[in-house]
Amino acid sequence: MLNIAKLINLDKPFILASQSPRRQKLLHQLGFEFEVIPADIDEDDFSDGVDPVEHVKELSLKKAEYIAKKIGKPAIVLGSDTIVVLNGTILNKPVDKKDAIRMLNTLSGKTHIVYTGIALVDAEMMKKKVAVQKTEVSFRTLSQNEIEAYAGTGSPLDKAGAYGIQDDFGAVFVSHINGCYYNIVGLPLELLYSTMKEFLMELKGIKR
């Protein structure tokens, strides 16, 4: 497998500040070696009317900085957050089956936007770099039977907007997308690669 760390000059341990199995799988897909240290941050801490781009940037950075300050060792920490937005309203993870059904009914037959923020923090110097990816996702009109059957599996409960597009029945809800597929899964890979490559180059140019 390609040695991605060598390719982009990643010469420090890499830490993912998230317990998301989907983000871990995507990082493995790129060939990254990393440690998982979830950040104990309230992901639902936002105010009504908050700008979604600023929300994912702020929360991603909070996660990365929380772990960077906690570990006490050299490392590059990745924090990330994904939200679903419909008509300006943020749909986070549903609190229960009933909430998942409500969200899916709301998304049915409409186009929503998925935002994912990524934040990279160097734990030694506390230097940081933040970026955001946007993808438009259109749902076909869903039947109540489909919605309730899917919600009954429990799968939507750990996903923003109450659905997953990968390895999941939620994939058949999506008629088409405009933008990065991996962004919907939870980690935009091209954006991560490009941002990390640029960040590491910037760090090399910093005089200590």
| Structural domains of the chain sorted by starting position, each given as residue range(s) with its CATH number in brackets | 4-204 (3.90.950.10)
CB 70 within 8 A of CB 17: no
Please state the separation of Cα 172 from the chain's center in Å: 21
What is the pTM assigned to this prediction? 0.91
Cα three-residue angle 131-137-143, rounded to 5 degrees: 145
158 as an active site residue: the answer is: no
CB 93 within 8 A of CB 157: yes
- 21-56 pLDDT, tens per residue? 999 999 999 999 999 999 987 766 555 567 999 999
Tokens standing for 18?
């998230």
For 66, the 3-state DSSP assignment is: helix
Tokens standing for 63?
């996660």
Average pLDDT, stretch 185-202? Answer: 95
- 140-159 pLDDT, tens per residue? 999 999 999 999 999 999 89
pLDDT of residue 208: 45
> Active site residue: 40, 42, 44, 81, which one?
81
- 65-93 pLDDT, tens per residue? 999 999 989 999 999 999 999 998 999 88
How far, in Å, CA of 149 to CA of 137, rounded? 21
